[in-house]
Amino acid sequence: MPAQTLSVAILSGKGGVGKSNVTLNLALSLQQSGASVLVVDGDLGLANVDVLMGFTPDGTIWDVLQGRMTIDRVLHTDASGLHVLPAASGTGQQAQLDSKSCQLLLKTLRPLAERHDFVLLDLGAGLSETVRLLARSAAVQLVVTTPEPTAITDAYALLKVLGKAHHLDHFQVVINNVQDPEEVSLTRTRLLGAARKFLQVEARLIGTIRHDPLLQEAVCKRTPLLRLYPDCPAATDIAAIAKKLKSLRRKMIAEGTISPCLSLRTRKPAGAAAPATGASTAKTTATSAAKATAQKPPAQKPSADSGRKPAATRMSGTKSGTAPRGTASPKKQGF
């Protein structure tokens, strides 16, 4: 039977853009709509999903990896049935896992993950090897950014590194903390448009979340926003994204395109069947990601990359010529 569990890695270039709140509230919304959901706190050095939910973990993923506790013992189940695997914070040592430890972590998580409809991995910010490997293990990569230029620049760097070294060429993007609709169109141009044009990766806007002081209040009260203020603007926006994720899962199940849950399968470069496009080869390892220059989104002039074959012509499921370019509004695809 084709895989049914949709694993989603929640990522950002810059920290503090709202990943953990988005993860948790997306999970709650999915759970409320009848899906079974596992949240994995994958921010192994600065975990805080437990803080946002208001519980103190008995143990963490690290205890499981060390063989001190079983995964069932560490698993937290909240009143709605949402399952959460907490991680440790502030202990430093386990913040970064090498490839072997990541493999062990994924192998440990897989049997539990496969019992759920969705697995949401709340990852740390940035481009560490741990983040890159865990991101690659998921079927969907969801990048959270805010409209701030620094967040956009870092998100672009993330797309570039994951695209080049890990051959990921489809991303879902959430623009969080939006105060003005104009910010959305600017972010579309600067991030989604630039990624398509210069990196040949398809970044699709799955949703936007308004700035909402009630979210900050929920954080302070250590109660998830969807519980505290289910009808407030940010909660409504997050619920809309959850609905799209559900549609995406249904579509991927129907097409049989959900990749095996939490596996670090080797990905071929997107242009493998076609003549070389300048992208890295399949032999590229995680190490080479560190070498990939995480440059800023090009301001005006097309880079050397822009001479490549357009992404639309080499991405599966994307019709040639129909994909948005440059400053045009990205056509929503995939659900």
Compute the least distance from the CB of residue 94 to ligand ADP, in Å: 18
Compute the least distance from the CB of residue 234 to ligand ADP, in Å: 5
Compute the least distance from the CB of residue 309 to Mg ion, in Å: 37
**CA atoms of 291 and 271, how far apart (whole Å):** 21
Span near Mg ion by CB under 5 A; candidates 11-19, 26-34, 53-61, 78-86:
11-19
Residue 7 near which of Mg ion, ligand ADP, none (CB within 5-8 Å, type-dependent): none
Q: Which residues bind ligand ADP (CB under 6 A)?
A: 12, 15-21, 176-177, 209, 211-212, 215-216, 219, 234
Do the Cβ atoms of 159 and 223 come closer than 8 Å?
no
> Closer CB to Mg ion, residue 19 or residue 249?
19
**CA atoms of 173 and 151, how far apart (whole Å):** 12
Span near Mg ion by CB under 5 A; candidates 14-22, 77-85, 159-167, 224-232:
14-22
Binding map of Mg ion across residues 108-147, x = CB under 5 A, - = no contact: ----------------------------------------
Residue 153 three-state SS: helix
Residue 253 near which of Mg ion, ligand ADP, none (CB within 5-8 Å, type-dependent): none
> Closer CB to ligand ADP, residue 238 or residue 258?
238
**CA atoms of 115 and 287, how far apart (whole Å):** 32
Nearest to 228 by CA among 240, 238, 214, 239: 214
Residue 128 near which of ligand ADP, Mg ion, none (CB within 5-8 Å, type-dependent): none
Compute the least distance from the CB of residue 36 to ligand ADP, in Å: 23
Token output for 23: 């993860």
Span near Mg ion by CB under 5 A; candidates 15-23, 169-177, 309-317, 322-330:
15-23
Nearest to 296 by CA among 191, 170, 141, 168: 191
> Closer CB to ligand ADP, residue 137 or residue 145?
145
Nearest to 75 by CA among 111, 23, 25: 111
Do the Cβ atoms of 109 and 134 come closer than 8 Å?
no
Residue 177 near which of ligand ADP, Mg ion, none (CB within 5-8 Å, type-dependent): ligand ADP
Place of tokens 């040949």: 200
**CA atoms of 24 and 21, how far apart (whole Å):** 5
Pairing of strands 76-77, 83-85: antiparallel
Compute the least distance from the CB of residue 81 to ligand ADP, in Å: 22
Compute the least distance from the CB of residue 176 to Mg ion, in Å: 12
**CA atoms of 275 and 266, how far apart (whole Å):** 20
> Closer CB to ligand ADP, residue 51 or residue 264?
51
Compute the least distance from the CB of residue 305 to ligand ADP, in Å: 28
Residues 6+ apart with CB under 8 A from 329: 185, 188
Check binding of 20 to Mg ion (CB under 5 A): yes
> Closer CB to Mg ion, residue 19 or residue 83?
19
Compute the least distance from the CB of residue 53 to ligand ADP, in Å: 12
List the beta bridge partners of residue 205: 173
Instruction: Determine which helix (DSSP H) or strand (DSSP E) holds 214, and give its type and residue range.
Output: helix 213-220
Do the Cβ atoms of 38 and 120 come closer than 8 Å?
yes
> Closer CB to ligand ADP, residue 19 or residue 76?
19
Q: Where are the alpha helices (DSSP H) in 75-117?
A: 99-113
Residues 6+ apart with CB under 8 A from 99: 129, 133, 286
> Closer CB to Mg ion, residue 155 or residue 292?
155
Residues that bind Mg ion (CB under 5 A): 19-20
